Amino acid sequence: MSIDAILEASRAGMQNERLRLDLASRRIAAANQPLDPASLSSGGGFAQALGNDLGAGLGTRSVLDPKHPLADAQGRVHYPAVDMVQEMTTLLTASRGYEANVRSFNVLRGMLLRAMEIGAK
């Protein structure tokens, strides 16, 4: 395996972990944002209401609040059913994975620089 391939694997790992961090943080941020009942009933469902990537695989939870402006005909307000424990776990593991990729990238870069110094002598 070439050195460039190893560096590229670290870069790809960092990008993947960054995307996982971004998605989990967006889901946490959307957890208490009420969903528009029109977007839920128009056939698009929850994934369309929050965006396909953000809402994929999530359901809704409803809270009885007839005075809320986004309440449906039964007086229920719909929210994303975000599992906070799962999302916080994802944040933690993605953060640690990102740190590990940064460390491996920096170690390899340091080894390359040291090899160039030795070769220049």
- Encode pLDDT of 42-95 as tens digits: 555 555 555 555 555 668 888 999 999 988 889 999 888 899 999 999 999 999
100: left (phi over 0), alpha (psi -120 to 50) or beta: alpha
Confidence category of residue 120, pLDDT binned at 50, 70, 90: confident
What's the pLDDT tens digit per position in 18-40?
Answer: 999 999 999 999 898 998 877 76
Q: What is the pLDDT of residue 88?
A: 96
Alpha carbon distance 47, 57 (integer Å): 8
- The structural domains of the chain, with segments of one domain joined by +, span 1-30+83-121, 32-81
- Residue 26 to residue 7: CA distance in whole angstroms: 29
Looking at CATH, the fold of the domain delimited by 1-30+83-121 is given as Helix Hairpins (1.10.287)
Share of the chain above pLDDT 70, in %: 84
